A and B are shown apart, each in its own frame.
Chain A
Amino acid sequence: MTGDGRRCWRDLDELLDTPDFREALGREFPAGAAELADGMTRRSFVRLLGASIALAGVGGCFERPRERILPYVSDSPESTPGVARHYATAMTLGGYATGLLVESHVGRPTKIEGNPDHPASLGAAGVYEQASILQLYDPERARTVRLGRAKASWSEIAASLSPARLGAAVGARGAGLGLLLEPSASPLAAEMLGRVRERYPAARVHFYSPLGSRASDRASLTAFGRPLLPQYDFRSADVVLALDADFLAGGPFSLRYARDFADRRRIAAPTDAMNRLYVIEPGVSVTGTTADHRLRVRAGEVESLAGAVFAAVMRQSNRPGMPGRQGIPDSVASVLRGVEPPPRHREWIDAVARDLTAHAGRTIVIAGERQPARVHVLAHLLNAALGNAGRTLRYIESPITEAGASSHELGPLVEAMRGDAVRALIVLDGNPAYTAAADLDFLAALGRVPTTVYHGLYENETARACHAFLPSLHYLESWADGRAWDGTASLVQPLIAPLYGGKTEAELLAALLGDAEASAHELLQDLWRGRMTGTDFAGAWDEALQRGVVAGTAAPETTPVWQWDAIGTVLSRSPPPADSSLELVLEQDPSVYDGRFANNVWLQELPDPLTKLTWGNAALLSPATAARLRVATGDVVALAYRGRTLRVPAFLLPGHADESVTLRLGYGRGAGDETLAEGVGANAYRLLTSDMTMFGGGLAVSPALGDDGTPLRDRLASTQTHWRLEGRPVALRATLDAYRRNPAFTAPERGRVLSLYEPRPAGGDQWAMVIDLATCTGCSACVVACQAENNIPVVGKQGVLDGREMHWLRIDRYFEGSVEEPAVLMQPMLCQHCEKAPCEYVCPVSATLHSPDGLNEMVYNRCIGTRFCSNNCPYKVRRFNWFDYNAEVAETERMAKNPDVTVRGRGVMEKCTFCVQRIREAQIAAGIEGAATGEVRTACQQACPTRAITFGSLNDPGSDLVRRRAEPRRYAALHELGTEPRVQYLAAITNPNPELPRGNGGE
């Protein structure tokens, strides 16, 4: 092809590809919902949407971004077709970025993994990050710019937002302009916002996230005068006290915290030391199930107990040989001197205080986000009193833009909107119409603003209420940046050209400044050109893209300046009166977060770590409280709280605090384009009020009655309906003491069993897995990793109710002991790859058989679906395609499928393959080089934040696998059956305080 010809076509191409041209196309061939005739089912609608986008070629699905992006550095610079490449990027959630590696096949991102070089990930990835790949391909994402009810173009919107037009509406200084964003630590966003503020000095810029912790910022302002963020080092902590803090799951830095915490919990030998975790909490969190001692109290009692712990620590500290005051002035120490815990908790509090003081300097006290500022202040004080600062924790300036400022309150903005002071409001992401506290009545206030613009991924509740809508870009399509919890900056590079069109936040903010044609890539480069150290910007830029972190950007430690007077004042303020009424506790959902992932089917179908509920939420309450209220699991109850009522099914959760009801946010989404999310579960935001942090007393619960006066029931889709182990040797645990006394306590559950069959040949690679139950928290990152890697379909709520969920890897959760104070055991359960597999000999067509390297293999093509293998599988890990589940997957979502793994059709059995595609890839690569097979990592292992899963070959003597398999606490689940599984478990070990009678450890 000649250069001229190529050029000619390229120009035409570029001409065709302008967004305005695309929008013109869109008008000619409408693909929106409004044009569709009635009578079309959702499914066919979704399919049509997907098909139209894929077939019409709008957007160009496999197109790379036009700007130069760079693959992760470990890959060879040459692209090999058929070989996946990994690109580093970052996803921001809750304001903080987590570094990721995204697997990409020929320009098509398929799987999200953690970035080993990023401090918030260290190679692990959480459920939200991993499932976000499905959001990228969601066919229900918005794809058209809307002005009023008509389709519009970006240039029209940009023109109306330009200073010339907008300035006229909101005043030259922008007094009538409101901007509502989500809290963020992005330097680019901060820069652009700064420029907008320069242009419109009087504009109201606000940040809102329902889950954002204003309490911890307030506490920092009180204690230090600055919004400092504590950075905990769990690797150095021997004793940890969590005050309603679920630091192992769900939070912005939880992957890292889980990793560090687990490093101190993973004991290779009985003689090793182990940390100890105390948790005080109302519900049962992932962290709570990991605790060695868990005190279940109402959320409102945590504050007084924290004070009691502080008082007890102060008493302890003054004893000889103890650390002393650590500079805490008497004015502060004396405030709580007389505080005594309630008698029933006294023993517990005293023991914890003794334990903390005995390990002074090697402890951590961490307060939960939803607890009021006073609890956070007490946590700061306790850490100071125990000499932890500088040893197990350090303080940094919060990386969040305007952290601690009043701009993080939503109330004043709503007030201004209601007072007609806001003439134009631009909402960037978030969904305040859905997430704002009910008493603010955000929607009504929004209705008073003459011009409202929403910029987001979906036409959601807020978008529907706004005059103009502009699609935003998914982070996998965007140029942006972000900062992690510890301040480390990352660049966000796109993996794929925008599927549906749209603009990034920075581009929209640039339009406010009159630059409608700004590109996020240029804005980002301009920003970082001044910030990257060294002279070679291009090199530094490339390095930042390749590594996924900008070197040297972690926030420096800052020495806090204690404001003792302010602290004394806060502490001496009398705590809230003892309230024994029923309490409502709201919390982030482990699946759908604050509701933004409610349209993500992987997350909707991801079982909650504790309740194992999918597709909806429930009012969680203790069996004793349920008995008092006369409700059972599945009864619909009416929760009446401060004049508002919500109907939601009840769910009895052993271990939940009495007289407290936990309800997860993010469900009950309203009308919008997110049809899968709509109406799933109950909207807990309707009970959220602006004055409560996330809990409050005075809840009334009554059985909900139907129109005919009969009690209502609802069907809750739980993937595990039985709670007890029935004394079966499946998930084993012991205390550290017991383990030291008898290291061979699992010996009866391992080793060879008498058998008539020959042992398997054992040469070459022999794959095996070890799962450490001591470090498994049940966070479920592995479940999503497996789903993404292995193209596992979802079955919907009815499918789960019918017992047909398809997860190859599930996490079994067992309660032991009393229903009031149960010990919780988490056990990842997947195909055990039995050497003497019961499934294999019953298959009439040899569709499941053993590979020479020890895999139990499934030949989909040969399977005729007798399901005998599943019947004979004692672990019930086989999954059957009852329907053609993949027929319902939208065209765009098909792009998320892993091309290395077969998509299974109807009528065949499937199950965990030990990620055989990765094994074969490694073996082929090794074969070419004539070397031994290198390290193979399964998807679940890779995602696990605590590194509880180890995989490798039994014949690789130096491997972690062989070393861990040699640990004395190894055992095989259902050992006596003689299946000789290749997956073996390490019994959970807990480290209860011998001073306390009841620990989380059996015995």
Chain B
Amino acid sequence: MATAVSSGPAQLTDRLLAPAWTPSRVWWVLFGISGAGTLVLAGAVAYTVATGIGVWGNNIPVAWAYAIINFVWWIGIGHAGTFISAFLLLFHQRWRSSINRVAEAMTLFALVNAGLFPLLHLGRPWFFYWLIPYPTRMGVWPQFKSALPWDAAAVATYFTVSLLFWYLGLVPDLAAARDRAPGRTRRRVYGVFALGWRGSGRQWHQYRVAYLILAGLAAPLVISVHSIVSLDFAISQLPGWHSTIFPPYFVVGAIYSGFAMVLLLLIPIRRAFQLEDIITERHLDNMAKLLLAMAWMLIYSYVVETFMAWYSGNVYERYTYLVERPFGPYAWIFWGMLTANVVVPQLFWWRRLRVSPPVLFAASLLILAGMWTERFIIIVTSLNRGFLPSSWHFYVPTWVDWSILFGSVAFFFFLFFLFLRFVPMVAISELKQQRHEASTAAAAVAAR
């Protein structure tokens, strides 16, 4: 790695911690906007809980809509962080160090958002805990044949492991922040969160082991969470849901949208904090390649799904895939989705476009929108025209649906801006270690 080491390790630490000490005016503005959006979310949620989910556009037959779309979308986005951290760590992809912290934080915040929706979408959200298998005197348990209790368990597990993984990775950096923070209060707060990290050899050893174990635990969860989420649909018998390709299809789509979100966040950060030397062109290039790879796996899923619908000869499957989606009332959303998810990533066959931040930024935005509409297509266009033509009904979201969607995006950024402000946004210790290893390797080469 030909990184220009312009400064020593101590300077690097200072530079990466600086944003935490002195927030810029831009930060305040963005924080304010996302905070206002969060208030919109809170208002819409309060209104929903107080009045009933009838304030949404849902109906019979479209009993699931925005809440579940948002849930699947956010949880999909929440896949990239752990994928980058765990998989790339296990595969010794060292370039991940520059971006894993942001990606993991993004994962957590996406999961917080995702966790909101399964609760909110219930008719009686105050009984959400009935989904959890806890022992009661009445001996009533969730029904394990349904995918939903598994879903709740999978999401909760994934959130817990992701949080632990992120926090464990943070500990050495929190210690660094403790050591350098201006003012006693901050030092104390960071000190509490640093859990007494001293940086001794023994601590480093145990840290490494724990981190690797957590990575090993997290990696299969990346696969399992969205597989189980996909079963929410696949175990049904509804045309458009009832499909065995759903687990891998959902995982691929999830990682795809997650990478898009990571890029969407990294590109402005890289620019704002002048981190071009840390988040280099190589990072962008690699991420774009991953996007392209995921896009092709997704295309494969689309093709197989549609082919199987035709090949099955089943009149309902054929109607959903070959009539309703491409030519039905939501066809414009379907074709928009294909444009965003299938056509746009083909740009990344060219290296020039892969390393161009504006192109990447725009493409990520489109892919994120495309992945949201993909869930809209899967959920709404399967439900609105089911088996009995007599029950077909159109679905239109209400202002509350839109408020909750955009409010949740605002909430996500609200949490993210808090993260930028208070937590080291790059894995400083890992980066320093890599630089050290790189420079000693360079010295060795020079000495030879």
Contact present for A842 and B235 (CB under 8 Å):
yes
Chain A residue nearest to B237 (CB atoms) is A838
Most buried by B among A724, A844, A862: A844
B29 at the A interface (CB under 8 A): no
Residues of B within 8 A of A862 (CB): 130, 140
Query: When each residue 44-80 of chain B gets 1 if its CB lies under 8 Å from chain A and 0 otherwise, what string results?
Result: 0000000111100111111110000000000000000
Contact present for B123 and A871 (CB under 8 Å):
no
Contact present for A870 and B61 (CB under 8 Å):
yes
Query: When each residue 127-159 of chain B gets 1 if its CB lies under 8 Å from chain A and 0 otherwise, what string results?
Result: 110110000000011110111110010000000
Contact present for A868 and B52 (CB under 8 Å):
no
Report how far A692 CA is from B389 CA in the complex, Å: 40
Interface residues in A505-543 by Cβ distance below 8 A to B read none
Contact present for B128 and A864 (CB under 8 Å):
yes
Report how far A253 CA is from B319 CA in the complex, Å: 45
Contact present for A880 and B63 (CB under 8 Å):
yes
Chain B residue nearest to A802 (CB atoms) is B59
Residues of B within 8 A of A720 (CB): 390
Interface residues in B310-332 by Cβ distance below 8 A to A read 315-316, 319
Q: Please judge, given known A-B contacts A883-B51, A883-B52, A883-B54, whether A871 and B389 are in contact too, CB under 8 Å.
A: no
Contact present for B52 and A907 (CB under 8 Å):
yes
Report how far A866 CA is from B142 CA in the complex, Å: 13
Report how far A871 CA is from B61 CA in the complex, Å: 7
Chain A residue nearest to B56 (CB atoms) is A882
Query: When each residue 885-908 of chain A gets 1 if its CB lies under 8 Å from chain B and 0 otherwise, what string results?
Result: 000000000000000000000111
Chain B residue nearest to A905 (CB atoms) is B124
Report how far A725 CA is from B392 CA in the complex, Å: 11
Among the stretches A45-53, A403-411, A726-734, A739-747, the one at the interface with B is A726-734
For the complex of A and B, 7 pairs with smallest distance between CB atoms: A865-B123, A907-B123, A882-B54, A803-B59, A844-B148, A876-B391, A812-B390
A879 at the B interface (CB under 8 A): yes
Residues of B within 8 A of A842 (CB): 145-148, 235-236
Interface residues in A702-743 by Cβ distance below 8 A to B read 720-728, 730
Contact present for B388 and A872 (CB under 8 Å):
no
Report how far A879 CA is from B63 CA in the complex, Å: 10
Residues of A that sit less than 8 Å from B by CB? 720-728, 730, 802-804, 810, 812-814, 827, 829, 838, 841-846, 862-868, 870-872, 874-876, 878-884, 906-909, 973-974, 977
Interface residues in B388-428 by Cβ distance below 8 A to A read 388-395
Contact present for A804 and B54 (CB under 8 Å):
yes
Q: Please judge, given known A-B contacts A802-B59, A803-B62, whether A874 and B143 are in contact too, CB under 8 Å.
A: no
**Of B52, B53, B60, B232, which contacts A803 at CB under 8 A?**
B60
Report how far A974 CA is from B387 CA in the complex, Å: 8
B293 at the A interface (CB under 8 A): no
Residues of B that sit less than 8 Å from A by CB? 51-54, 57-64, 121-125, 127-128, 130-131, 140-143, 145-149, 152, 232, 235-238, 315-316, 319, 383, 385-395
> Least Cβ distance of B364 to chain A in Å?
32
Residues of B within 8 A of A725 (CB): 389
Chain A residue nearest to B129 (CB atoms) is A864
Report how far A143 CA is from B316 CA in the complex, Å: 56
Residues of A within 8 A of B236 (CB): 838, 842, 868, 871-872
Contact present for B52 and A728 (CB under 8 Å):
no
Q: Please judge, given known A-B contacts A884-B52, A906-B123, A908-B123, whether A867 and B63 are in contact too, CB under 8 Å.
A: yes
- Can you list 22 A-B pairs with a CB-CB distance of less than 8 A? A726-B389, A802-B57, A803-B394, A804-B60, A813-B390, A841-B143, A841-B145, A841-B146, A842-B146, A843-B143, A844-B131, A862-B140, A863-B124, A866-B122, A870-B60, A872-B237, A884-B52, A907-B124, A908-B123, A909-B123, A974-B387, A977-B387
Q: Please judge, given known A-B contacts A803-B60, A864-B128, A872-B236, whether A845 and B142 are in contact too, CB under 8 Å.
A: yes
> Least Cβ distance of A776 to chain B in Å?
14
Contact present for A868 and B393 (CB under 8 Å):
no
Q: Please judge, given known A-B contacts A906-B124, A907-B122, whether A867 and B390 are in contact too, CB under 8 Å.
A: no
Report how far A838 CA is from B140 CA in the complex, Å: 21
Contact present for A864 and B124 (CB under 8 Å):
yes
Most buried by A among B62, B131, B392: B392
Report how far A803 CA is from B385 CA in the complex, Å: 13
Contact present for B388 and A874 (CB under 8 Å):
yes
Q: Please judge, given known A-B contacts A864-B124, A876-B61, whether A728 and B387 are in contact too, CB under 8 Å.
A: yes
**Of B123, B143, B237, B383, which contacts A880 at CB under 8 A?**
B123
Contact present for B392 and A722 (CB under 8 Å):
yes
Q: Please judge, given known A-B contacts A802-B59, A883-B51, whether A721 and B386 are in contact too, CB under 8 Å.
A: no
Contact present for B123 and A863 (CB under 8 Å):
yes
Residues of B within 8 A of A867 (CB): 58, 63-64, 123
Report how far A725 CA is from B374 CA in the complex, Å: 28
Residues of A within 8 A of B386 (CB): 874, 876
Contact present for B124 and A845 (CB under 8 Å):
no
Residues of A within 8 A of B125 (CB): 864
Residues of B within 8 A of A810 (CB): 390
Contact present for A864 and B130 (CB under 8 Å):
yes
> Least Cβ distance of B96 to chain A in Å?
37
> Least Cβ distance of B167 to chain A in Å?
30
Contact present for B52 and A882 (CB under 8 Å):
yes
Report how far A100 CA is from B147 CA in the complex, Å: 49
A sample of 15 more A-B contacts (CB under 8 A), given A804-B60, A883-B52, is A725-B389, A730-B389, A802-B57, A803-B393, A812-B390, A838-B237, A841-B143, A841-B235, A843-B146, A864-B125, A864-B127, A865-B124, A880-B63, A883-B51, A907-B123
Contact present for B238 and A872 (CB under 8 Å):
yes
> Least Cβ distance of B133 to chain A in Å?
11
Q: Please judge, given known A-B contacts A721-B392, A813-B390, whether A874 and B237 are in contact too, CB under 8 Å.
A: yes
> Least Cβ distance of B50 to chain A in Å?
11
Report how far A380 CA is from B61 CA in the complex, Å: 50
Contact present for A864 and B146 (CB under 8 Å):
no
Contact present for B390 and A727 (CB under 8 Å):
no
Residues of A within 8 A of B62 (CB): 803
Residues of B within 8 A of A843 (CB): 143, 146
**Of A726, A864, A870, A977, which contacts B63 at CB under 8 A?**
A870
Chain A residue nearest to B383 (CB atoms) is A871
Residues of B within 8 A of A802 (CB): 54, 57, 59
Report how far A360 CA is from B157 CA in the complex, Å: 81
Contact present for B130 and A845 (CB under 8 Å):
yes
Report how far A827 CA is from B391 CA in the complex, Å: 12
Report how far A848 CA is from B64 CA in the complex, Å: 18
Contact present for A844 and B237 (CB under 8 Å):
no
Residues of A within 8 A of B316 (CB): 728
Residues of B within 8 A of A722 (CB): 385, 389-390, 392
Residues of B within 8 A of A724 (CB): 389
Chain A residue nearest to B319 (CB atoms) is A726
**Of A728, A865, A870, A882, which contacts B389 at CB under 8 A?**
A728
Most buried by B among A728, A802, A838, A841: A802
> Least Cβ distance of A813 to chain B in Å?
7
Report how far A388 CA is from B130 CA in the complex, Å: 69
Chain A residue nearest to B241 (CB atoms) is A871
Most buried by A among B51, B57, B146: B146
Residues of A within 8 A of B390 (CB): 720, 722, 730, 810, 812-814, 827, 829
Contact present for B394 and A721 (CB under 8 Å):
yes
Report how far A721 CA is from B393 CA in the complex, Å: 7
Contact present for A865 and B122 (CB under 8 Å):
yes
Residues of B within 8 A of A879 (CB): 60
> Least Cβ distance of A240 to chain B in Å?
29
Chain A residue nearest to B382 (CB atoms) is A871
Report how far A973 CA is from B142 CA in the complex, Å: 31
Report how far A987 CA is from B8 CA in the complex, Å: 86
> Least Cβ distance of A390 to chain B in Å?
45
Contact present for A868 and B388 (CB under 8 Å):
no
> Least Cβ distance of A849 to chain B in Å?
9
> Least Cβ distance of A826 to chain B in Å?
11
Residues of B within 8 A of A728 (CB): 315-316, 387-389
Chain A residue nearest to B392 (CB atoms) is A722
Residues of B within 8 A of A827 (CB): 390
